[in-house]
C-alpha cells in the first residue's frame, strides 16, 4: 500500500469530506498484523507471527498520540482501515479497544484461521458506528484451501455486524486480490467517512 499518498489521492478523487489520513508502513505483515500464530498461507511460507497485540499497543500508545498532537484540534472520531492482513487487523482491533468508531476492511484476510469464530464468540469492546467490507469478485478463485472461502467468511462478518446493529456494507469489486488496491482502500475510507 506504500506511504498512503495514492490512497489519499483516490480519496480526493472520490470527494471524501475533509479528514486526516495516517498511513503506517514498514510492518512485517505476517508477524505484526496477525492476531495469533499459525502456519503460513502456502507451503513453506513464513508462518503468521501472531503479534497484532503488540502492534496495536504501539498504535494506541505511540502512533495515535503522536499523530493527533500535530492536529489543530482533536478528531471528532477515529476510524481504522486496512487492506488484506491490515483489513483483518482493522476488524480484530474492534474486539480489543474502543478507540475506533468506524472500520474499513478492503479485501480483508477474513479467511484467517479461527477469526470468524473468535468474532462470533466474543463481545466487541465497543460497538462501532459503521463497518465497510469489500472483496474482489475473483478472490475465491484460488487453489489455496485456506483462502478460497474468503467470500463466505466476509459475508459471515457482514452478517455478524448486521446482527449487532452496526451499519455495514459489503462491496464486491472487479478483479482479484491485487486489482486496484488504492482505489478499493479509498472507497472504504469514503464509506466510513460518510456513514
68 band by pLDDT with thresholds 50, 70 and 90 = very high
Q: Around Cβ 94, how many Cβ atoms within 10 Å?
A: 24
* Predicted pLDDT of residue 175: 83
- Over range 162-180, report the average pLDDT: 93
* Predicted pLDDT of residue 42: 80
1 band by pLDDT with thresholds 50, 70 and 90 = low
Q: What is the pLDDT of residues 125-143, one digit of tens each?
A: 999 999 999 999 999 888 8
Provide the β-strand partners of residue 168: 131
83 band by pLDDT with thresholds 50, 70 and 90 = very high
Closest CA to 182 of 17, 5, 28: 5
- Over range 57-64, report the average pLDDT: 98
Q: What is the pLDDT of residues 12-38, one digit of tens each?
A: 999 999 999 999 999 999 999 999 999
* Predicted pLDDT of residue 145: 84
39 band by pLDDT with thresholds 50, 70 and 90 = confident
Residue 57 clears pLDDT 70, i.e. is over it: yes
**Can you say whether residue 191 is alpha, beta or left, with left for phi > 0 and alpha for psi between -120 and 50 degrees?**
alpha
Tell me what the pLDDT averaged over the chain comes to.
95
Structural domain count, the chain: 1
Q: Which domain holds residue 18?
A: 5-194
| CATH code, 176 | 3.40.50.1820
Residue 107 clears pLDDT 90, i.e. is over it: yes
* Predicted pLDDT of residue 2: 74
Q: What is the rounded distance in angstroms from the CA atom of residue 133 to the CA atom of residue 16?
A: 18
* Predicted pLDDT of residue 135: 97
What pTM value is reported for the model?
0.95
Tell me the longest C-alpha to C-alpha distance in the chain.
Answer: 49
Amino acid at each position: 500500500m506504500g506511504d498512503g499518498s495514492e490512497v489519499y489521492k483516490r480519496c480526493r478523487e472520490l470527494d471524501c469530506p475533509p479528514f486526516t489520513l495516517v498511513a503506517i508502513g514498514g510492518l512485517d505483515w505476517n508477524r505484526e498484523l496477525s492476531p495469533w500464530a499459525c502456519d503460513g498461507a502456502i507451503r513453506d511460507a513464513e508462518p503468521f507471527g501472531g503479534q497484532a497485540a503488540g502492534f496495536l499497543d504501539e498504535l494506541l500508545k505511540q502512533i495515535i498520540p503522536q499523530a493527533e498532537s500535530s492536529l489543530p484540534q482533536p478528531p471528532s472520531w477515529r476510524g481504522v482501515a486496512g487492506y488484506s492482513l491490515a483489513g483483518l487487523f482493522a476488524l480484530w482491533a474492534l474486539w480489543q479497544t474502543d478507540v475506533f468508531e468506524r472500520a474499513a476492511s478492503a479485501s480483508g484476510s477474513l479467511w484467517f484461521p479461527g477469526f470468524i469464530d473468535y468474532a462470533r464468540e466474543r463481545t466487541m469492546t465497543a460497538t462501532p458506528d459503521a463497518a465497510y467490507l469489500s472483496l474482489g469478485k475473483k478472490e475465491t478463485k484460488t487453489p489455496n484451501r485456506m483462502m478460497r472461502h474468503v467470500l463466505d467468511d466476509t459475508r459471515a462478518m457482514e452478517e455478524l455486524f448486521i446482527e449487532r446493529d452496526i451499519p455495514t456494507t459489503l462491496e464486491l469489486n472487479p478483479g482479484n486480490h491485487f486489482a486496484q488496491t488504492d482505489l478499493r482502500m479509498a472507497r472504504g475510507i469514503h464509506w466510513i467517512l460518510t456513514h
